[in-house]
Amino acid sequence: MLTLACLAIFLLVFILTWHFMKPKEVSIREEWSIKHDEGSRLTNIIIILVCGLVCSIAAYGVTGEIFFAGLAFLGGYFVAKWLSKRRQKTREEMLRMQYGQVLTALASAMQGGLMHYQALEELTPVLPQPSKDVFAEILARARTGSSLYQATKSVAEVVQWKDLESMAAAFKMYEATGCNLVEVFNYLADVVRERESDRKYVSAVTAQVRTTATLLSFLPFILIGVARVLSPEYTAPLFTTTGGIIVLLFCVLAVVIGNRIVNRMIEGLCV
């Protein structure tokens, strides 16, 4: 018990030291995230504390031990980080879904007689978020002297929106050869629609796998909590003896690793 307490204190000190001693340089990508992130630093701290409180309550409900509740509070940082990544992934999914609509709208505007830059200026104010912020940044860079190819390419690298690289390539072809951008954008829109259709199919097929993995992840801890309530004497060694604590920590580690493997496999299919 004393060993685990010392380990928890060491982890807490390590996390705090790493957080405050790490280099303060901010990359261009981080600058974009900070600029377009709705949450402030105080909000992020509150989210971490709330997540830690939820983890503590869940751990106490399963184990009935204050020690495990305090240890689980450290998990709030990792849960908050996971939620942040999930929000970022949702944003990327929205950008990917909106890309085909942007291409179709640009092609329609240019087919009506507008130049590519004029079409982009007309279209950007009516775009949905978050693509509106991205194309507003492209226009802002283009107005400072960059070509549309350079502006689109640089923003694609900052936002890490890989789809924009195809639009940048189209602008580069137009600058070099004067190709028909309407035909290029219509072709790209067709490709994007086919790709999204395949992604939705794969997502529907793997939905059952994701649901099963989530249920299996929570099931062991729910059963442990129910067993503790029904028979405290039977489950007490799991939380009060060294062997029981090792088994419990091994179960938590196995669930985390298993979920990570399943998620990596599913993400590989959806790419």
| DSSP conformation letters of 174-239 | HHHH---HHHHHHHHHHHHHHHHHHHHHHHHHHHHHHHHHHHHHHHHHHHHHHHHHH-HHHHHHHH
Tell me the C-alpha distance between 100 and 108, whole Å. Answer: 12
pLDDT at residue 24 greater than cutoff 70: no
Q: Classify residue 132: in a domain, yes or no.
A: yes
pLDDT value of position 27: 44
DSSP designation for 125:
G
Share of the chain above pLDDT 90, in %: 0
Share of the chain above pLDDT 70, in %: 83
Over the chain, what is the mean pLDDT? Answer: 79
Q: Classify residue 178: in a domain, yes or no.
A: yes
pLDDT band with cut points at 50, 70 and 90 for residue 14: low
Cα within 13 Å of Cα(161), Cβ side: 30
Mean pLDDT, to the nearest integer, of 57-85?
84
pLDDT value of position 7: 55
Are 104 and 123 spatial neighbours (Cβ–Cβ below 8 Å)?
no
Helix, strand, coil content of the chain in percent (nearest 5): 85, 0, 15
Whole-model pTM: value is: 0.67
Tell me the C-alpha distance between 169 and 109, whole Å. Answer: 19
Mean pLDDT, to the nearest integer, of 5-32?
48
Q: Classify residue 145: in a domain, yes or no.
A: yes
Amino acid identity of 197?
A: S
Q: Classify residue 156: in a domain, yes or no.
A: yes
Count structural domains, the chain.
1
Tokens of 14: 């390590």
- Rg over alpha carbons for the chain, rounded to the nearest Å, is 25
Q: Classify residue 175: in a domain, yes or no.
A: yes
Which comes out higher in pLDDT, residue 32 or 153? 153
Cα within 13 Å of Cα(52), Cβ side: 12
Q: Classify residue 47: in a domain, yes or no.
A: no
What letters, b where the CB count within 10 A reaches 16 and e where it falls short, cover 176-195?
eeeeebbebbbebbeebeee
Q: Classify residue 244: in a domain, yes or no.
A: no
Tell me the C-alpha distance between 91 and 207, whole Å. Answer: 20
pLDDT value of position 115: 85
pLDDT at residue 30 greater than cutoff 70: no
pLDDT value of position 20: 43
pLDDT band with cut points at 50, 70 and 90 for residue 199: confident
Tokens of 257: 């690793």
Tokens of 182: 């309407």
pLDDT at residue 25 greater than cutoff 60: no
Mean pLDDT, to the nearest integer, of 247-270?
80
Name the one residue in this structure whose structure tokens are 């503590």: 56
pLDDT value of position 23: 44
Q: Classify residue 139: in a domain, yes or no.
A: yes
Q: Give per-residue pLDDT as tens, 139-180.
A: 888 888 778 888 888 888 888 888 888 888 888 888 888 888
> The domain containing residue 140 runs over which residues?
93-189
